[in-house]
Structure 1
Amino acid sequence: MALVTISGYPSSGKTRRAQQIKHALEARLHDPSYAGPSLKVVVLSDDALNIARDAYRDSRSEKPARGALFTSMQRQMSQDTILIVDALNYIKGFRYQMYCAARELKLRVCTVYVVATEEMCKEWNAQRPEQERYSTETLDNLLLRYEEPSSMVRWDSPLFTVPWSDEDIPADQIWKAVTEGNVKPPNAGTQAVPKAPTDALRTLEATTTTIVAAIMSEQVGAGGMGGTVTLVVSDDAKPTITLPPRNITLSELQRIKRQFVTVHKKAITLGTTEKGAVDWSDKSIADKFVLYIEENLKA
């Protein structure tokens, strides 16, 4: 249904805001006037995944921590869930990765930027129990590396900024974003490439070879007069081709065949850019090949 990304300095009050959002959304879902689909609100956090604060002390230990968070997020995203990710989410590249994962599942998205000064974050961090506290070195490093969300980029939009001085969160706006916001189509780069069947290469080679042989045979019978003829490739594949009124040499047909096979071999091995399922049957290949031959013989 939706992904709500919480972002902000370490020890800036993100967890408090995440809980406020959760309670506000649940109140609206349980309201008697609500007539929408049945939804649940889930908060995913480092604490829920037992990710320790010292995991952020350097990039080597931070990478698997972010990986665990992202994997868990992917598992919990669904059409019946409003997922709130309560974590640092301080790297714009990671927020973009989360955004792409949400788009792939056609979920609505929004970002909540929890704002507090560096001095406040250091003070609040010092007041925490030792096991929940960032070390001074880690905290300073994270504050330095923080990449602020921007409403100007699509992966942070819509963006709701919540200063430390606000008692509450913009609940109405967040509710509207997660229930009525635009559902953007999946990014082309994230979609699975249609796969060709395992025998596509063999069918491509065999069908084009049969058509070349059939054209040469028809030419012998017609004496090079040309015209429209039907080529029998198989019981299902019987394409019609219009030949020019001249003798077509075998080398000419072989050259056209090589060009056709080269282009389509790339589509088989690398994946096609055509939308929907691609037909790699002998009938489909035969129909495409005779059209390709006609176009090249005109040139």
Structure 2
Amino acid sequence: MALVTFSGYPASGKSTRAAQLKSHLQNTLPSHLSVVLVSDESLNLLPSVYDDSRSEKPARGALFTAVQRLMGQDKVLIVDAPNYIKGFRYQLYCAAREMKLRVCTVYVVATPDLCRQWNLARTDGRAYTPETLENLLVRFEEPSSMVRWDSPLFTVPWTDEDVPADEIVQALLTGYVKPPNSGTLAAAKAPSDALHVLEQTSTAMVSAIMDAQAATQSSGGRVTLTVSETHSVQITLPSRNLTISELQRLKRQFVTVHKKAITLGTTEKGAVDWAEESVAQKFVTYLEENLKP
């Protein structure tokens, strides 16, 4: 249904704000919708994973995998993590678009001095080392309402007592659901026997055309070709004698074009059908466009 991404300085109060929002959503959303909060803490990712890139990268991967697994049309998923890299927020945004979820970002704002103070005061064992905290403060990439992956953006300064729950709920319930990015959509795959059907059907069609031409004595016109016991196609032949070499050449061109689509997994947009009768109809269309009068 929706993805809510929290972002902000380390030790800025994101977890407190995420808990506030979760409570509001549980009391506001319809009963058929659940609220799920995923965080570094829920995944047992310690603050020390941010000490260096070698440990941070797999930790961020674990968070992203958990988010993908938990996304659904029947829930609001809250991601309580630093999310300080705009590229990672973009990843979350793209994953949400693939699932056709609404999105919003909550930017929890606190001054660096307050973050240092609150980090030192932590007694839950989840404090950052001073060096890591300073590094994350410097590397933080601030969310912006001007970019699509951070929008709509709700900013919550440290002076506010609560999150703007009503505005966030409105965005989650009525906000625009952006369609999946075409670059992230999986290409339709041809069946495993598509190459065999392509070759066999086009070969059979060449033989059928030669038989039909012999029966009509090369007079051309509209003729019916039998594809299988239950299917047949019609083709308009030119009023001249077609040679087997000409038909074989066109058949090889046709097979080459469609073989690339099959082997690369790329197919034309819309319905894709590699059944025998569909291949036969495609071959007929190709011949009618390429046979000289």
Same fold (TM over 0.5): yes
Q: 1:47-126 residue pairs with structure 2 within 5 A?
A: 47-126=41-120
Contact 1:115 1:162 in 2 (8 A): yes
1:282 aligns with 2:282: no
Does 283-292 or 141-150 show the bigger shift?
141-150
Counterpart contact for 1:194–1:277, Cα < 8 Å: no
Q: Distance in 1 between matches of 2:255 and 2:31?
A: 50
Matching of residue 186 in structure 1 with residue 162 in structure 2: no
Partner of 2:32: 38
Cα displacement string for residues 77-127 of structure 1 (whole angstroms, at most 9, x for unaligned residues): 222211111001111111111112112222111000111122221222122
Aligned-partner residue type, residue 191 of structure 1: L
Q: Deviations over 1:127-172 (max 9, x none)?
A: 2237311112211221122111111111111111111122221111
Counterpart among 190, 196, 202 of residue 208 in structure 1: 202
The alpha carbon displacement at 1:15 in A equals 0.7
Is residue 36 of structure 2 the alignment partner of residue 11 of structure 1? no
Structure 2 residue 169 is the aligned partner of structure 1 residue 175: yes
Is 2:229 the counterpart of 1:238?
no
Q: What amino acid maps onto 2:16 in structure 1?
A: R
SS at match of 1:283: helix
Deviation for aligned residue 1:276: 4.8
Q: Which moved more, 1:15-24 or 1:185-194?
A: 185-194
2:155 match:
161
Match of 1:131 in 2: 125
Alignment-derived partner of residue 32 in structure 1: none
- Is the Cα contact below 8 Å between 1:241 and 1:290 reproduced in 2? yes
Residues 224 and 247, structure 1, Cα contact 8 Å, conserved in 2: yes
Tell me the equivalent position of 1:26. Answer: 26
Give the corresponding residue for 1:2: 2
For 1:288, the aligned partner's letter is K
1-structure distance, mates of 2:276, 2:77:
47
Contact 2:73–2:101, Cα closer than 8 Å, also in 1 = yes
Residue 22 of structure 1 aligns to which amino acid in structure 2?
K
Counterparts of 1:147 and 1:84, CA distance in 2: 20
- Alignment partner of 1:264 is 2:255: no
1:207 counterpart letter in structure 2 = T
Q: Please report how far the alpha carbon of residue 206 of structure 1 lies from its aligned counterpart in structure 2 after TM superposition.
A: 0.4
**Contact 1:26–1:41 (8 Å) recurs in 2:** yes
Amino acid in the other structure paired with 2:150: D
For residue 33 of structure 1, what is the aligned residue in structure 2? none
Asked if the contact 1:22–1:43 (Cα under 8 Å) also holds between the matched residues in 2, the reply is: yes
- Whether the 8 Å contact between 2:7 and 2:106 is mirrored in structure 1 is yes
Q: Secondary structure at the residue paired with 1:231? A: strand
AA of the residue aligned to 1:129? T
Aligned partner of 2:143 among 139, 149, 169: 149
Partner of 1:251: 245
Q: Quick one: distance in 2 between partners of 1:177 and 1:150? A: 17
2:190 maps to 196
- In 1, the alpha carbon distance for the partners of 2:179 and 2:244 equals 48
Are the equivalent residues in 2 in contact too, given 1:236–1:283 (CA < 8 A)? no
Question: Structure 1 pair 275/210, CA: closer, same or farther in 2 (3 Å)?
Answer: same
Worse-matched range after superposition: 234-243 or 202-211 = 234-243
SS at match of 1:198: coil
**Which contiguous aligned blocks of 4+ residues in structure 1 show a shift greater than 4 angstroms?**
none
Instruction: State the SS of the aligned residue for 2:77.
Output: strand
1:218 is aligned to 212
* Post-superposition offset of 1:6: 0.2
What percent of counterpart residues are identical?
66
Aligned-partner residue type, residue 3 of structure 2: L
Deviates more, 1:116-125 or 1:81-90: 116-125
User: What SS class does the counterpart of residue 38 from structure 1 fall into?
Assistant: coil
Q: How many residues align?
A: 293
Counterpart CA distance in 2 for 1:237 and 1:207 is: 12
TM-score, normalising length from structure 2?
A: 0.94
Greater Cα shift, 113-122 or 13-22: 113-122
**Equivalent residue letter for 1:187:** N
What is the alpha-carbon root mean square deviation over aligned residues? Answer: 1.7
Residue 232 of structure 2 aligns to a residue in which SS?
coil
With normalisation by structure 1, the TM-score equals 0.92
